[in-house]
Amino acid sequence: MLMKRCEWCVGDPLYEAYHDNEWGVPVYDDSTIFEFLILETFQAGLSWITILRKRENFRKALDDFDYKKIATYDESKYNSLLLDEGIIRNKLKIKSTITNAQLFMSVQKEFGSFSEYIWSFVDGKPLQNKVKNYKEAPANTEISDAISKNLKKRGFKFVGSTVIYAHMQATGMVNDHEVSCFRYNEVRSLSKKD
C-alpha cells in the first residue's frame, strides 16, 4: 500500500526522502537550526528542490554548516565561495551567510541558545495547522512577520517573513503537513524532550 504524502513532494525521490524524514520535525539543536536558516536564505527566489540538490555541496563548501567557522570567513574564503559552482554563487547571499553566522552567535550569547530565542515565538511548542492541500498553507503569518522583524532589527539578512515561515515549516515550528499525509500525525506527536 502506498503512503499518502503531501502533494508538493510526490515524484522526486530526494524531495520524498526530505519530506518523510526531516520536513516538519521539531528541531531544537542550534547547529541544525542554523543549517536550515542558511539553506532557506539561499532559497530566496529559488525552488526548495534546487537547494536540496545542492545541499551536500553547501555542506562541503560551508564547513558542514559550522557557524563558528563561517563567522570567521575572510575575503579569501568569500572569493573561493563565489567560484564554487556547486553552490548558489550570489554575492549578497554569501556575504549574508557570514554576517548571519556572527549574529547567530550573538543571539546565542543573549538567550543561551538560538533555539531558546526562536522557539520563544511559539511558546516552545509546534503550531498545528490543518492543511488539506499544500496550496492552502500560508506563505507567511503574523508570527513569521514578528520573527523576521526581530531578526532584521538584529542585523540578519535575507530573513523576510516568507523565508522565515519556510524555516518554521522545515524546523517543525509549524506542522503544515497535509492532514491526509502519513507524516501529519507522526509529526504532531513530536514535542521537545526535556
Long-range contacts, 43-52 (Cβ 8 Å, 24+)? 43/163, 43/166, 44/93, 44/158, 44/160, 44/163, 46/88, 48/166, 49/12, 49/14, 49/15, 50/88, 51/88, 52/14, 52/15, 52/18
Catalytic residue IDs: 18, 40, 48
Distance CA 180, CA 5 (A): 8
Distance CA 57, CA 151 (A): 27
The 3-state secondary structure of 149-194, one letter per residue: HHHHHCCCCCCCHHHHHHHHHHCCCEECCECCCHHHHHHHCCCCCC
Beta bridge partners of 127: 174
